[in-house]
Amino acid sequence: MAANPIQVVPLRTEAAAPVGTPKLTYRGGPLLASVQVFLFFWGDAWSQDPLPQVVSQLNGFFDFVLTSPLMDQLAEYSVSGFTIGHGARTGSLALTTAPPASVTDADIQSLIQQEIASDSAVPKPSPSSLYFVFLPPGVSVSMSGGASCTTFCGYHSDINSQVFYAVMPYPDCQGCAGSLAVVDALTSTSSHELCEAVTDPVPGQGWYDDANGEIGDICAWQTKKLGAYTVQLEWSNSAGKCV
């Protein structure tokens, strides 16, 4: 396991060229074989115009992408016991409690655990579950000494190697949107973290490259159009390039 595995989407301006020839190697940990994604939209702001439209676009994005060629291309990283294939969006939920202007990773973990424990609308974690938490405009999240829009644009992590989640701050800053529309920035970072959570759900214990990080880090902010959506390229060991 890498000592401090990379688990974030870097700022657009800090996406670096890979060191040497990237190669992900498998470290023996779990993978998300048929990922079951549940979305949390935290904060009342998501119910105020124009954000409901973003919510609906993100729901549509996950419905599409989880059965798309983006999942098919991850099949090369299947290992004994974990055959990577199509997934599904199991639902989404607006949480009307207002997050403070800055939240910590611990706050995110508490929220997910409370929701799982207390809300029957939230599926219980399975070995393939992945919870996405989308933050509203104006709310930053800090994790491992960094913060959204300052040092990163999103990340994924785990709770005790059992509950897997990704955090998507609102890209209301130049570093995380640049010339991209908000929805395109969000689908790009979401695809980055989705592919990383599938192939490396416990950061550094799945498919990882000690010099370059996880599958999406090697290709950070290189995007393509898939269907109607902007997604990020991902590293392919078999192709030897970002695809």
Considering the complex, state which of residue 11 and residue 122 has its C-beta at the smaller distance from Zn ion.
11
Rounded least distance, CB 111 to Zn ion, Å: 22
Min dist. Cβ of residue 170 to Zn ion (A): 18
Residue whose CB is less far from Zn ion, 4 or 97: 4
Helix or strand or coil: residue 100? coil
Chain mean position to CA 166? 5
Q: Does 201 bind Zn ion (CB under 5 A)?
A: no
Among 128, 206, 216, 218, binds Zn ion (CB under 5 A): 216
Buried b (16+ CB within 10 A) or exposed e, 229-240: bbbbbbbbeeee
* Contact between residue 53 and residue 45 where contact means Cβ atoms under 8 Å apart: no
- 10 is a site residue for Zn ion (CB under 5 A): no
Could you tell me the smallest distance in angstroms from the CB atom of residue 173 to Zn ion? 18
Q: How far is the CB of 5 from Zn ion (least distance, A)?
A: 10
Q: Is 234 in the site for Zn ion (CB under 5 A)?
A: no
CB of 77 to Zn ion, least distance (A): 15
Judged by beta carbon, residue 24 or residue 112, the one nearer Zn ion is 24
Phi, psi of 55 (to 5 degrees): -55, -45
217 part of the interface to Zn ion, by CB under 5 A: yes
Label residue 123 exposed, middle or buried (CB < 10 Å: 0-12, 13-18, 19+).
middle
Closer of 55 and 147 to Zn ion (Cβ): 147
- Separation between Cα atoms, residue 37 and residue 131, nearest integer Å: 6
Question: Euclidean distance between the first and final Cα of the chain, in Å?
Answer: 26
The residues of the shown chain that bind Zn ion, judged by CB under 5 A, are: 196, 214, 216-217
